[in-house]
Structure 1
Amino acid sequence: MFRKSAFALFALLVTVVFAGLSSESAQARYASIVVDADTGQVLHAVNADTRNYPASLTKMMTLYMVFDALENGKLRLDQQLPVSKRAAGMPPSKIGLKRGETISVRNAILALVTKSANDVAVVVAEALAGKETTFAQVMTKRARSLGMSRTTFRNASGLPNRGQKSTARDMSRLAKALMSDFPQHYHFFAVSKFSYKGRTYRSHNKLLRSYKGTDGIKTGYIRASGFNLVSSVERQNRRIIAVVFGGKTSKSRDRHMVKLLDRGFKKIASQGVKKIPQVPGRNPFQAPVVTLQIAAVPPAATQKAAPKQPVDLTAAQAPNTGTPKTEPKAIETAAALPKQARPVKPLMPSSQVAAVDGLETPIRGDETLTNDWGVQVGAFSRFSAAHSSARSALAEAPVPLRGAKVAVQRVDSASLGTIYRSQLTGLYEKQARDACAALKAIDIDCVLVQPEAQGSN
């Protein structure tokens, strides 16, 4: 009897000790940060610079490298990438690629975003750098150039590796870089499901469906990290990026993320940043104008901003930027691979992201032939909000805007105080008129700004 009691007491003590250690471990790996994406202001931070395991948040960086290669012409969305024996042998999460098969870059992106497929991560790494270890070195170098000073990558997937570490702050910087550097590709992160070879894969990011305004970006989990999440939410022209590391469960992590986002938007609202209603007319807010900043932002040829709502895509319905939609059938042997699917030469990313101009908009003979027209897409009480609004409009415009410049103009109004007008300038008349019509069609406020109405450049 005494022995049984002693054993029971010992078991209880062991349970308590291990529970305590587990709790301490979970507490040690917890980190979070909430950032106003428009201003860069940190709204909340706990252990934001503590190095933790990023898990599949790593694939955000892998996708950054893919987008960079697309913009530099080193990859195409319809390009077929070969599957190696090593890639096929990766542990789950995966989509079950087999050695000798191929997968298009477009479907590789979708598999990484939704299924967080480890086999696909290796396919991409080998296509871009020959070996995954080499790719990880390039990833780390690029991450450092983005300001991710406390991040080191050892693989492309986020699978366990003692040397693979990052921080909540660094991941928020990566999320922002994905949006600002590749607005034409960021919409992939809004995909909530896609179908491939008869199977449908749903995104692990449930906030896409449950939290209004969420348009990305990525979840992550390994046992050593806990449940990680990077979220981007836009409401009333304001965007917040939030990161959580070390959640105990996916549900508790999501609940915590919602609380952080709610608090973040409340804090922004309390700071008095507001959007001022558009006033139609030749020169909105008649007053002396001082151009505060004009930054050239050459848009990509088919540049689109992130969707406001999550998107469901099959392989045939996936985002298309002008390349074929169909997925060629898998080829079983390397010898039978089509030319574009043969092992590709490693593509080492350049240190710069190449900008791609839009297409020329034809001009009729009876129209103004000077490019000093513009469009106004908002007026705000803060410069940062106006600048963000103009960049978003440039990204979302359904028509090409070659030569468009993001311009923020300050107006001192006696009745409204200081106003920052959000404009796209440097347009020809037809470009400006077409842009305004197209923006209005997708519910973006727009006022045509004629040459004499603009401030000095």
Structure 2
Amino acid sequence: MHLSRTGFLNRIRLFAVALAAVLALSAQPAEAGRYASIVIDAESGSVLHAANPDAKSYPASLTKVMTLFLLFDELDSGRIRLDTKFTTSAHAAAQSPSKLGLEPGEKISVESLVLALVTKSANDAAVVAAEGIGGTEAHFAQMMTRKAQALGMRSTVYRNASGLPDLSQVSTVRDQALLGRALIRQHPGYYKYFSTRQFVYDGQPINTHNRLMLRYNGADGIKTGYIHASGFNLISSAKRDGQRVIGVVFGGSTAASRDKHMGQLLDKGFARLRKGGGVEMAEAGHDDLPDLDELVAAAQAAKAPAKPSAKAAKPAPAKKVAMRAPARAAAADDDDDEDAVGDADPASWAIQVGAFGEYRPAHKAASDAAKKLGGLVSKASIDIDKTGKGAKTVYRARISGFTEDQARAACKRLGKAGKACKPVNPNA
């Protein structure tokens, strides 16, 4: 078929536009839901499994592993101690949830910061730590990036200490595995903090977000993370029979499916070690794991990168609140909640069954309501929300971890029993 000069030039232009689009996409981090994973031998660093290991995405709260790494560096150097206290700035107090609810001027020990980061994934605590070491969060982020480069994390850039949405803050599963391995090897004494299941701050118990650690045989850390643009991320480490593996997953669709998948990857890693190790599978699609099909199909269907919100969610008023234990199982993801950050599922609704002046009656009210609800709370947890100070302190008796439909059904059942109850929207 003969083409006119005009037709030929039009085809050239179309090809150039298409090529430019492909190049633009390849330069961007992976879109939300883009699946990537890796498993390495913690001793040798050899790769036991890899799928899209060098695809850039947003680390979300996995960022806090590097924040903690630098805190541990300072502790080892003797420049700070676990009982050293840092002061909360207005900038730190204004961070989006997940947070401790620290107030400007409030002092908090380094050990409490460490525990808040590994369990609550508190964004305000991350900024307090950053400013306590680096002076400003921006300078601390530069320190984080330099440390990443020194550790061989070639594709990682940090812009903040928490993992809140930032277009320039990117990493890969390979880099995060390097970080996990380096932390375990260089700070073995402090790594134990990642196995913390609960700690008490300001009189309130705070449970870990890392539910896989509670269920997987041999797991002892390390960090979960979520923002809308990344999906559900996780670094895990487990030790069996003297052998340790480290796994990283980016882009899970829910916390529950991510955790289940990570368990399979860790199993695969241990199996490969028993056979004498393995060879990296370049850009492996599924490695014969049964639950990868959906993730891989989503990755193949991806056309364009999703960008995280250029700004964080509007901060909640600074207050000593939200000492929340995570739900014991994942609630449904809420794709409209782009600014939900931290590690708890973003669509985790709660119900409130009363407000009290003391903690004990609030906890009893929530416990009594949970007993009446029976199976409806099998995937939820008691959650006492404290507000105010002194004589104005109020303890809200809540049960969290519901979907919206479950929360409304729970209140309907309690209402029929003559009990007060109201659904609590996590985004309200």
Give 1:25 shift: 4.3
Give 1:267 shift: 1.3
Residue equivalent to 2:220: 215
Residue equivalent to 1:236: 241
Residue equivalent to 1:192: 197
Residues 1:202 and 2:202 are matched in the alignment: no
**Does the residue aligned with 2:48 lie in a helix, a strand or coil?**
strand
- Normalised to the residue count of structure 1, the TM-score between the two structures is 0.54
In the alignment, is the contact (CA less than 8 A) between 2:141 and 2:161 conserved in 1? yes
Give 1:271 shift: 2.1
Give 1:26 shift: 4.5
Equivalent residue in structure 2 for 1:262, among 259, 262, 267: 267
**Does the residue aligned with 2:105 lie in a helix, a strand or coil?**
coil
> Aligned partner of 2:214: which letter?
R
Change (3 A) 1:86 1:272: closer
**Map of 1:262-301 to 2, 5 A cutoff?**
262-271=267-276
Residues 1:130 and 2:135 are matched in the alignment: yes
Residues 1:150 and 2:143 are matched in the alignment: no
**Does the residue aligned with 2:193 lie in a helix, a strand or coil?**
helix
Give 1:39 shift: 1.9
In the alignment, is the contact (CA less than 8 A) between 2:31 and 2:230 conserved in 1? no
> Aligned partner of 2:140: which letter?
F
**Map of 1:31-70 to 2, 5 A cutoff?**
31-70=36-75
CA distance in 2 between partners of 1:196 and 1:109 (Å): 12
Residue equivalent to 1:163: 168
Residues 1:108 and 2:127 are matched in the alignment: no
After the TM superposition, list the runs of 4 or more consecutive aligned residues in structure 1 that deviate by more than 6 angstroms: none
Superposed CA deviations along residues 148-185 of structure 1, whole A, max 9, x for unmatched, are 01000000000000000000000000001111111111
CA distance in 2 between partners of 1:123 and 1:179 (Å): 24
Residues 1:245 and 2:250 are matched in the alignment: yes
Give 1:272 shift: 8.2
Superposed CA deviations along residues 290-316 of structure 1, whole A, max 9, x for unmatched, are xxxxxxxxxxxxxxxxxxxxxxxxxxx
Residues 1:98 and 2:91 are matched in the alignment: no
CA distance in 2 between partners of 1:36 and 1:100 (Å): 44
For structure 1, which runs of at least 5 residues remain unmatched after alignment?
Answer: 1-23, 274-331, 333-457
CA distance in 1 between partners of 2:112 and 2:144 (Å): 21
CA distance in 1 between partners of 2:78 and 2:273 (Å): 39
> Aligned partner of 2:105: which letter?
G
CA distance in 2 between partners of 1:36 and 1:215 (Å): 15
In the alignment, is the contact (CA less than 8 A) between 2:31 and 2:57 conserved in 1? no
> Aligned partner of 1:54: which letter?
P
Give 1:215 shift: 0.7
CA distance in 1 between partners of 2:59 and 2:51 (Å): 16
**Does the residue aligned with 1:185 lie in a helix, a strand or coil?**
helix
CA distance in 1 between partners of 2:204 and 2:251 (Å): 30
**Map of 1:385-404 to 2, 5 A cutoff?**
none
CA distance in 2 between partners of 1:135 and 1:46 (Å): 31
CA distance in 2 between partners of 1:264 and 1:200 (Å): 34
Residue equivalent to 1:81: 86
**Does the residue aligned with 1:50 lie in a helix, a strand or coil?**
coil
> Aligned partner of 1:69: which letter?
E
Superposed CA deviations along residues 113-151 of structure 1, whole A, max 9, x for unmatched, are 000000000101111111101100110001100000100
- Normalised to the residue count of structure 2, the TM-score between the two structures is 0.57
Superposed CA deviations along residues 311-348 of structure 1, whole A, max 9, x for unmatched, are xxxxxxxxxxxxxxxxxxxxx9xxxxxxxxxxxxxxxx
Residues 1:72 and 2:108 are matched in the alignment: no
> Aligned partner of 1:128: which letter?
I
Superposed CA deviations along residues 76-99 of structure 1, whole A, max 9, x for unmatched, are 100111001111111100010001
Superposed CA deviations along residues 203-226 of structure 1, whole A, max 9, x for unmatched, are 111112100100110000000010
**Does the residue aligned with 1:48 lie in a helix, a strand or coil?**
coil
**Does the residue aligned with 2:189 lie in a helix, a strand or coil?**
coil
Residues 1:120 and 2:125 are matched in the alignment: yes
- Which structure: larger Rg? 1
CA distance in 2 between partners of 1:201 and 1:226 (Å): 24
**Does the residue aligned with 2:188 lie in a helix, a strand or coil?**
coil
Residue equivalent to 2:186: 181
For structure 2, which runs of at least 5 residues remain unmatched after alignment?
Answer: 1-29, 279-388, 390-428
CA distance in 2 between partners of 1:113 and 1:155 (Å): 17
Residue equivalent to 1:226: 231
CA distance in 1 between partners of 2:146 and 2:99 (Å): 27
Superposed CA deviations along residues 185-205 of structure 1, whole A, max 9, x for unmatched, are 110011011110011111111
Superposed CA deviations along residues 16-64 of structure 1, whole A, max 9, x for unmatched, are xxxxxxxx9455x211000011222111001101111000000000000
In the alignment, is the contact (CA less than 8 A) between 2:48 and 2:277 conserved in 1? no
- The count of residues paired between Structure 1 and Structure 2 equals 250
**Does the residue aligned with 1:184 lie in a helix, a strand or coil?**
helix
